[in-house]
Amino acid sequence: MPVPDVPSIVIPAHDEEHTLRRCLATMTRGMKDGELAIVVVANGCRDATAAVAREFAPAVRVVETEVASKIHALNLGDQVSTGFPRFYVDADVLLPIESIRRVAQVLSEERYLAAAPRLRVALEGRPWPVRAYYEIWTRLPYFREGGMIGSGVYAVSREGRSRFERFPEIVSDDGYVRLQFSPEERTTVQDCEFTIAPPKSLAGVIRIKTRSQRGANELLRVFPLLGDNERRDYPSVLGEVLKSPRMWPAFLVYCFVKLVTWGKAYWQYHSRRSVAWERDEESRLEALAQSELGRKR
């Protein structure tokens, strides 16, 4: 019998046993049998990532590789996935089935080629500097333009996926996919959401944003023509901030983080320093604590 053309989910996971359990539990809660084809690509794992993914069989298929590379994992996941729309999901995000259904519906209408749910940043329990940074970040054109594809989740239709072949060996896979499409071809679906857990300290924010900045720089150096699909409206954001004195302290925090990350990303590139995957270990420790608490209960 042919495999039904159901939405495919590709989840690259490197040492993500605790965050992955939350991710898959959220994604499969309320899911109908055979509704999704989920592939977890455990890449270069030294923990129980693959075993955790197998706990969700038969809804989840596990592919293992010794190569610790997100790009390699994405390409492997594509090789074994057949359905559309195709979602690419980071192992540390929370994406409910209702949001998957809604994004799939939007893409099935063929008005857009790429889409993502609205992003929710879970700032509960975070210190003021972290909340301040994200207060400004969530006002940027990238976030508010209506076509924010990335930050942990993005989906493409069959036609959209035909825009590129393999994922290239660059840091910013989400930026690469987002800029395959003009602002009119991609959309944020506002009536559904996914959730990310930000770092618990400003130092953690700087670490992950430095990698993000270096990825953005690399993307436009390697694929300069993709910059034509970027929409920039930063003067309007500055005007909004200047009109609200309440936001001035938060804006100073945001500017501080940007200056530091720009400088670190510039130094890393020009020193030819190899950069390991900069991820938020603080939130992963938080996931571990929550996992252990759940088991004790």
Predicted confidence (pLDDT) per residue in 207-254, tens digit: 999 999 999 999 999 999 998 888 666 667 778 888 889 999 999 999
Looking at the chain, the whole-number percentage of residues with pLDDT higher than 70 is 87
pLDDT tens-digit map of 84-137 = 999 999 999 999 999 999 999 999 999 999 999 999 999 999 999 999 999 999
pTM of the model: 0.89
**Predicted local distance difference test score (pLDDT) of residue 94:** 98
The residue among 270 and 283 whose pLDDT is bigger is 270
Q: Is the pLDDT of residue 291 over 60?
A: no
Domain residue ranges of the chain, discontinuous segments joined by +: 1-92, 99-278
Radius of gyration of the chain (CA): 19
8 Å CB contact between 198 and 130: yes
Q: Is the pLDDT of residue 267 over 60?
A: yes
pLDDT tens-digit map of 192-211 = 999 999 999 999 999 999 99
Which CATH code is given to the segment(s) 1-92? 3.90.550.10
**Predicted local distance difference test score (pLDDT) of residue 275:** 46
- At 297, is the pLDDT very low, low, confident or very high (cuts 50, 70, 90)? very low
**Predicted local distance difference test score (pLDDT) of residue 296:** 45
Output the CA angle 78-81-82, nearest 5 degrees. Answer: 120
**Predicted local distance difference test score (pLDDT) of residue 151:** 84
Mean pLDDT rounded to a whole number for the chain: 89
**Predicted local distance difference test score (pLDDT) of residue 269:** 72
Looking at the chain, the whole-number percentage of residues with pLDDT higher than 90 is 75
